[in-house]
Structure 1
Amino acid sequence: MVNFRGSSHSKSSSIFSRRSSPLSIMLYVFILFAFSIFIFILYSKDILEDEEKKSPSISEMKPKSEQLPDDILWDAPFSYGLRPCVKPSARYKGAQGYDRYMTVRSNGGLNQMRAGIADMVAVAHIMNATLVIPQLDKRSFWQDTSIFSDIFDEIHFIMTLQTDVRIVKELPKELESAPRARKHFSSWSGVSYYEEMTQIWKDYQILHVAKSDSRLANNDLPLDVQRLRCRAFYHALRFSPAIENLGKKLVERLQSRSERYIALHLRYEKDMLSFTGCTHGLTEAESEELRVMRENTNHWKIKNINATEQRIGGLCPLTPKEVGIFLQALGYPPSTLIYIAAGEIYGGNAHLSELTYRFPNVVYKETLASKGELKGFSNHASQSAALDYIISIESDVFIPSHSGNMARAVEGHRRFLGHRKTVTPDRRGLVALFDMLESGVQKEGSSFSHLVRKLHKNRQGGPRQREGAPSGVKGRARSRLEEHFYQNPYPECICGSKITVRWT
């Protein structure tokens, strides 16, 4: 060891003791300089790599919309081999009712009337009555003057149900001035209630029903009665040829624009916001306008509503901004084609822009059809809503912003047709997440998207049995809080599997 060090030292001394030429000195300095540069670069690279591992880049810090596979975004849920089944049992007998007539005045918007008419078909069957083609509501918010044949295929309706109930276009001439019993049937009534009502025929030949909505219970009815309701709702109540033809054209135009499309029932309309008392995101002037409208609408019984409590309870329709955040969190790209199935959006572009800046590829009937094609539907809200219904049924994905009559009817129809994908927002859960965004506790991005998708994992329109009322609810309120029959006609009108299906 000592000898080695000694020899090295002596060599170095001899070298530096020599007189070196200027060229050799320059070469030595150049090599030393180059080696120093190499060491510096190598060391600096290690430092930069360590710093990059510690600190994410600016692009990584920005919230990203995770791109999900198409099958997750668009494919219908697994249906377990279930299929529509509406045929009557071997014991079923149709009603004749040749000398007993039931006239009906339907109430509400399009889908409230459709459900009510289907129920009246079943009631006429139970009471063994001849059903006169129902009168439609002309006094609702929309002031639509349409008659039955303007919206529905009247002949098809009569012929489809001819083995179930006798249906005529109008009362016989000799009975037009005959006395009639006027009845407002109790809501959510069962078969025994209507069997007792047959006592009316002892004194009257004509029974007039003042309202048609929610006259039958959702559950605990005979199988044949439930299947008759389905035959009436899904088969007999076909829209008029004019509506069906234009609806088909609009669906084809949507499909020519994009491989897939979402039908969004954006229930952000003046009547809905006023009725529910929901004002989140509105100006003071808009909120006051809605309050005045609610105050002046006589048949809306509740006048004073706490908007904050309504929203926290999940009772408000999602705002356009909230819908945009929701769709983005689900993973749909900005280029997604979205059809707005709704009437006039309250506040117009001022509110709608909060959706369209995230999803600019938004279309309506007015952008798909010409003015000439829509001319016959102007000032006829129910006929216009029927076009929205057709387009929503045929969409690849249906998403309602509120659980009203249209949303329930479309969801149930899509279940009946094979459980087509329907994403039903958990509004109560979403409000909590939206408030976290507004307060800064949560930011949009992958973690937020994960929370939203987890919340809606079992809200995709897959097979499940119709839900009953919440536990602890008793009396007539129980019937009112049950899931609507036309929102989910399983198990009576959907069958084919021996497995008890409970999935969503």
Structure 2
Amino acid sequence: MVPRGPLFRSSATPSIFCCLSKLVSRPFSLTGCFALTLYVSLLFIFFLFYPLHRNFPDDLEREETLFMEETQQVIEERLWRPSLSRGFRPCTKPTSRYEGPKYWNRYLTVRSNGGLNQMRAGICDMVAVARILNATLVIPQLDKRSFWRDSSTFSDIFDEDHFIATLQGDVPIIKELPKELDSVARARKHFTSWSGMKYYLEIAELWKDYQVIHVPKSDSRLSNNDLPIDIQRLRCRAFYYALRFSPPIEQLGKKLVGRLKSHGRYISLHLRYEKDMLSFTGCTYGLSDEEAEELKIMRENTNHWKTKKINATEQRIGGYCPLTPKEMGIFLKALGHPPSTWIYIAAGEIYGGDAHLSELRSYFPNLVFKETVATSEELEPFAKHASQTAALDYIISVESDVFVPSYSGNMARALEGHRRFLGHRKTFSPDRKGLVEVFDKMERGKLKEGQKLSSRITEMHKFRQGAPRKRLGALPGVKGRGRFRTEESFYENPFPECICSSRNLTN
């Protein structure tokens, strides 16, 4: 007996179970069986797909929304996520063979030359040299004769007491040379560039005749490679821990970082489109004839710049020129950054001002500078001190979500290394030579902005985002001492001496 309760009764159609009972009571009929099978199948399909059909527009919309959210998340991660550190961590502790400093009655005095980051690298090198020579280091004097004519002293820019205390287990450091040694004869020695242990052990012979050695220049006096690991790690302790900026600079720098981050993520763009850099490199692309002539005269009248005549076209094609503001706008847009992106310009006065910056601003309207993030009252103590304002740029750049330099100068190299040390924060190194080829094609109308350009530029920079890698050696084919100049700077990439696998952090 087939149940006949409410669940199985319909006033519109006979029950399927009634049909079954009637068919069972009749002789076998192929036609009847086929009809029943077709009816049941259609009924099954109707009830199976009807709910989906009824809700299909809503589900499709929901799936599209989820897809868009996932796509946006992928784009966000690609644009902002730091490079995978693959288990690498900072390692700066001395090895078990490292001994405490020896206190000798002999002194190393130094005049650090160049801009802020050239001086910073030189000071840290001199810490290592003092260790090698078993000398007491006198707090270095800073360059006051460079292009910026900055009168800042060591303590104006750096936390002097912190510097001395942090390195007390490595090198004895004093603020001034003892008065009784002011009048003694000193060995004035221009150390040879990129020198190693053997050279400085020979220099130590000077202690037989002198109590004080004076070094007129500190930049690039120490080799990038082939030094004992404890000397290399000492350089890192000096650069990343000891040579901290002065409290007023640190405090304002952190305050400005907080203001920028209140708007969300931001890019720090080290836009080396300043008068001195363009004149020094001889790069005039995008400038007027009057501007090009002004830079030429400046180069010819600067005594310590050796190269006076430069072919601007060859410089640009070779990738030796800073990218222009417009080129940086094209580059960042091609990587996928939307126009709403906040960009902090870490630089001095841009040559030509708004006439050139407007081309970058047309891509990214949210351009900000120190002068727009800080108040005039906050900046007033640092006014007319280029090294101190450059230190503010450094702090803001090292803490940025993305750092991009338009040229690989001293600041760009120092920041790339520092960001590697802090966990391989995303840092783009633009392929200037390759990009110039792309930009020239655009100028000739052979390539336009769009997906093709974006894919090409993104692919070019897949492995130029600050991921862990060993420091690059000298370029092939370069012989003699010139090969040291082509090595990647130690402070640009302190791997492997100061960045180790988490499995090997025993030292």
Shorter-chain TM-score range:
0.7 to 0.9
Q: What is the alpha-carbon distance in structure 2 between the residues aligned to residue 147 and residue 446 of structure 1? A: 51
Residue 168 of structure 1 is aligned with which of 174, 184, 201? 174
Q: What is the alpha-carbon distance in structure 2 between the residues aligned to residue 94 and residue 263 of structure 1? A: 40
Q: Which residue of 2 aligns with 1:385?
A: 390
Tell me how far 1:496 sits from its aligned partner: 1.9
Q: Which amino acid aligns with 1:277?
A: G
Q: Which residue of 1 aligns with 2:276?
A: 271
Residue 432 of structure 2 is aligned with which of 413, 427, 433? 427
Q: Which residue of 2 aligns with 1:443?
A: 448
Classify the secondary structure of the residue corresponding to 1:111. Answer: helix
Q: What is the alpha-carbon distance in structure 2 between the residues aligned to residue 97 and residue 296 of structure 1? A: 46
Tell me how far 1:69 sits from its aligned partner: 1.3
- 2:323 corresponds to 1:323: no
Q: What is the alpha-carbon distance in structure 2 between the residues aligned to residue 191 and residue 221 of structure 1? A: 7
Classify the secondary structure of the residue corresponding to 1:428. Answer: helix
Q: What is the alpha-carbon distance in structure 1 between the residues aligned to residue 437 and residue 100 of structure 2? A: 51
1:181-202 CA distance string (max 9 Å, x none): 1000000000110011111111
Residue 307 of structure 1 is aligned with which of 303, 312, 316? 312
1:237-288 CA distance string (max 9 Å, x none): 00000000000000000011x2100000000000000000000000000000
- 2:408 corresponds to 1:410: no
Q: Which residue of 2 aligns with 1:488?
A: 493
CA RMSD of aligned residues (A): 1.1
Classify the secondary structure of the residue corresponding to 2:176. Answer: coil
* Conservation of the 8 A alpha-carbon contact between 1:94 and 1:125: no
Q: Which residue of 1 aligns with 2:144?
A: 138
Gaps of 5+ in 1: 1-65, 500-504
- 2:87 corresponds to 1:81: yes
Q: Which amino acid aligns with 2:344?
A: Y
Classify the secondary structure of the residue corresponding to 2:214. Answer: strand
Tell me how far 1:177 sits from its aligned partner: 1.1
Classify the secondary structure of the residue corresponding to 1:485. Answer: coil
Residue 181 of structure 1 is aligned with which of 161, 180, 187? 187
Q: What is the alpha-carbon distance in structure 2 between the residues aligned to residue 146 and residue 421 of structure 1? A: 32
- 2:276 corresponds to 1:252: no
Classify the secondary structure of the residue corresponding to 2:414. Answer: helix
1:189-238 CA distance string (max 9 Å, x none): 00110011111111110000010000001011110000000000000000
Tell me how far 1:95 sits from its aligned partner: 2.9
Tell me how far 1:470 sits from its aligned partner: 1.2
Q: Which residue of 2 aligns with 1:288?
A: 293
Tell me how far 1:112 sits from its aligned partner: 0.1
Q: Which residue of 2 aligns with 1:297?
A: 302
- 2:365 corresponds to 1:356: no
Q: What is the alpha-carbon distance in structure 2 between the residues aligned to residue 425 and residue 431 of structure 1? A: 10
Q: Which residue of 2 aligns with 1:365?
A: 370
Classify the secondary structure of the residue corresponding to 1:105. Answer: strand
Q: What is the alpha-carbon distance in structure 1 between the residues aligned to residue 391 and residue 349 of structure 2? A: 15
Q: What is the alpha-carbon distance in structure 2 between the residues aligned to residue 403 and residue 327 of structure 1? A: 17
Q: Which residue of 1 aligns with 2:53?
A: none
1:376-410 CA distance string (max 9 Å, x none): 11000000000000000000000000000000000
Q: Which residue of 1 aligns with 2:222?
A: 216
1:128-160 CA distance string (max 9 Å, x none): 000000000000000000000000000000000
1:419-465 CA distance string (max 9 Å, x none): 00001100000000000000001111000110000000000100000
Q: What is the alpha-carbon distance in structure 2 between the residues aligned to residue 97 and residue 452 of structure 1? A: 55
Q: Which residue of 1 aligns with 2:17?
A: none
Q: What is the alpha-carbon distance in structure 2 between the residues aligned to residue 392 and residue 495 of structure 1? A: 24
Classify the secondary structure of the residue corresponding to 1:300. Answer: coil
Q: Which amino acid aligns with 1:283?
A: S
Q: Which amino acid aligns with 1:89?
A: T
Tell me how far 1:97 sits from its aligned partner: 3.6
* Conservation of the 8 A alpha-carbon contact between 1:423 and 1:456: yes
- 2:250 corresponds to 1:240: no
Q: Which amino acid aligns with 2:472?
A: E
Q: Which amino acid aligns with 2:88?
A: L
1:337-358 CA distance string (max 9 Å, x none): 0000000000000000010011
- 2:111 corresponds to 1:116: no
Gaps of 5+ in 2: 1-70
Classify the secondary structure of the residue corresponding to 1:399. Answer: strand
Tell me how far 1:498 sits from its aligned partner: 5.9
Classify the secondary structure of the residue corresponding to 1:226. Answer: helix
How many residues are matched? 433
Q: What is the alpha-carbon distance in structure 2 between the residues aligned to residue 95 and residue 438 of structure 1? A: 60
* Conservation of the 8 A alpha-carbon contact between 1:136 and 1:148: yes
Q: Which residue of 1 aligns with 2:343?
A: 338
Tell me how far 1:98 sits from its aligned partner: 2.9
Residue 470 of structure 1 is aligned with which of 467, 470, 475? 475
Q: Which residue of 2 aligns with 1:4?
A: none
1:349-372 CA distance string (max 9 Å, x none): 000001001100010000011111
* Conservation of the 8 A alpha-carbon contact between 1:111 and 1:409: yes
Classify the secondary structure of the residue corresponding to 2:142. Answer: coil
Q: What is the alpha-carbon distance in structure 1 between the residues aligned to residue 502 and residue 472 of structure 2? A: 19
* Conservation of the 8 A alpha-carbon contact between 1:80 and 1:497: no
Q: Which amino acid aligns with 2:222?
A: L
Q: What is the alpha-carbon distance in structure 2 between the residues aligned to residue 247 and residue 98 of structure 1? A: 38
Q: What is the alpha-carbon distance in structure 2 between the residues aligned to residue 97 and residue 204 of structure 1? A: 16
Q: What is the alpha-carbon distance in structure 2 between the residues aligned to residue 477 and residue 149 of structure 1? A: 35
Tell me how far 1:94 sits from its aligned partner: 3.1
1:32-67 CA distance string (max 9 Å, x none): xxxxxxxxxxxxxxxxxxxxxxxxxxxxxxxxxx97
TM-score (structure 1 length as normaliser): 0.85
- 2:461 corresponds to 1:456: yes
Q: What is the alpha-carbon distance in structure 1 between the residues aligned to residue 389 and residue 255 of structure 2? A: 14
Q: Which amino acid aligns with 1:460?
A: Q
* Conservation of the 8 A alpha-carbon contact between 1:422 and 1:461: yes
Q: What is the alpha-carbon distance in structure 1 between the residues aligned to residue 435 and residue 226 of structure 2? A: 33
Q: What is the alpha-carbon distance in structure 2 between the residues aligned to residue 304 and residue 173 of structure 1? A: 47
* Conservation of the 8 A alpha-carbon contact between 1:95 and 1:129: no
Q: What is the alpha-carbon distance in structure 1 between the residues aligned to residue 487 and residue 501 of structure 2? A: 24
TM-score (structure 2 length as normaliser): 0.84
Tell me how far 1:176 sits from its aligned partner: 1.2
